[in-house]
Structure 1
Amino acid sequence: MPKRYVFFTALSYAYPIYRPLQEAIRARGDEVAWFLEGECPDLLKPDEIRLHTINDVIEYNPLAIFACGNIIYHFLPGIKVSVFHGYPIGKRGEKSSATDDHFSIRGWFDMYCTQGPSSTEYFKQLEAKHQFFKVYQTGWAKVDDYFSSYKKENDVPTILYATTFSKGITSAPVLVDTISRLVKEKKWNWRLTFHPKLNDQALLNRYRALADEYSNVTFVDNVRLEDFQQSDVMLCDSSSIILEFMMMNKPVVTYRNTNPGQHLLNVTEVSEVENAIETALTRPASLMKEVNDFAHYHEAYRDGHNCERILDAVDDFNSNYKGKIKAKPLNLWRKFRLRNKLKYWK
């Protein structure tokens, strides 16, 4: 009998995380279905199976259910596996793992599939402390496809602008005028993408208007691998998407990054953005070494087999630890709130 898996999908950023994993599952002759939570947009392809209700998931009875967010419904069947939606880069200025939300243990998961030393080391400490989950360093599912060969479409420099949604950190309101000017003045192509939680529609419309008016601007609703591949430099603030771009050995310019370092060309004034991009396009050797070192610290593997390691980890947990380690905490109040949210009491 083929093994079955479910993707617990809450936001649009989950699609590029899960799809390489889906490919690996299918390559093994196994099956996978998607459960879309709440307001998550339906971006499924015709050959992708959707489970519409909690009862559908229960009837499907997966071996494991994957989540790339912080929450998963405890009453769903299967091993609960966290595969993360980004890297622990201290977006909010955290100076230690103990204060980084990436490492919050809420009592929902049986397994954490960590990406590299930056996440594995502290999660292993948490595993020893709590004892109700296991940690496997597998690499991140999303990046398997990043290391395939590609050819850039043209020689025109392309800037990918990506921003976080966090209030007080996002650069979107601050840089809109600067980007608008550079679109008109520089012979660069632009790709503009925004976190799905950024909900300032008036601001987003200003950026969309640039794509409507200028042929060198593309507005990207959901950033794709192609957008990374076809871009030469990223302009950002403090989003974890920075690291994804760096794994392709490309430089990043940031505006007021909360954890600046030698791997970034960080600026603190809008007037410095243009020169920083010009510098990044020259790919200084010292900068690119820092970029490479930073990427390796956060992502352990670049062999395109992270998804296979995740599935192997699920098999190992199922064979050696399921039902044999300490039980997860009761979490009665949290469980009540989740059930009440769904009005599901079975």
Structure 2
Amino acid sequence: MKKKILFIILTISILAIGIGFSKKNKVEIDKIKSVNLSTDYEIKQALEDIKDLGVNTVNVPVVIQIPNIKSNDMKIDDYSKQKAIKLIKILKKKDIKVILEAYPWINNGRSYETEYNPLDKEKFFKDWKIVLNTLIDDVANKHDVDIIITGSNLQNLEKYEDNWCDIIDFVKEKFDGLVTYKTSWWYTASWDKKSIDRYNKKLNNKLFSKVDFISIASYFELSDKAENTVEELVSCLNSTTIHNRKQNVVKEIYNFHKKHNKEIFFGELGFPRRDYAAKHPWDAAVSNVENAKEQSRCFKAYKQIFEDKDYLKGFSVFAVGQKGKDKNFYPSNESIDVIYSWYNK
């Protein structure tokens, strides 16, 4: 009888171990060195960029069609979904990790997701959960995706903390990989109390304690000069000079780690190949003057400050996979050298 009980216990233990190994280990991903693909990426170009930049992860977008910034209508673009599946299969064979992002494509890409403000908020969260559920079932769980982004740069909706917490719990229940949420950049100014209050409200949003790590789209405005030295940009990251704001970007980012005990990930890190790249990093048309070196100096400043920070989980370069004439964020040769060297000691 004792032998039979021992055999049953041993069998259950083996099965439990097997189940454990069948699930993703949520601490297996160390430093993430990633690229964001533009929504119109070409698979061949994406694979070339992945190799040239020496990354271990790719942020794969699936387009979510939304008619305008007030609309509650949303639809997964089937072509985008099928292209994502095709690419993910190739990436997994190459041992490259995958971040899956439901990408709000508003007014055919003419409107920013940061402006999105649907009229019916409850309907949005109900429908967004359906979108994520479909992507989990059709893409993430079927094709061994490693990370899911539950929301991206939806700053007009971020204040609905309970709704986001519900969505994050839902995704964690269905998906075995890591779960994150990507918040948009912000600014504070020493002379603007409202900006500091907005930052503190963002910092204390309880949704950030729910995710496995915190993603930030890091388009922080640093300097209003057309060109800067790396040393000047490093200084600006500790005290911005644009509009004399004196924002300590490094400290404010660290505060998210300290407050929520989560690693920080630069879910989008990009600069246009233009003069004034550090002024409005989010603006592809910030200047008509091309400046490959200024773009690379911006990357170098971030690398110099953040590469050795234990709390930084990594970064994702915005954006590759398409290098047409209008792709001003596509990294220059000088930037590629900087990015390749990051985490490549």
Q: What TM-score comes out, normalization by structure 1 length? A: 0.28
Scaled by the length of structure 2, what TM-score is found? 0.28
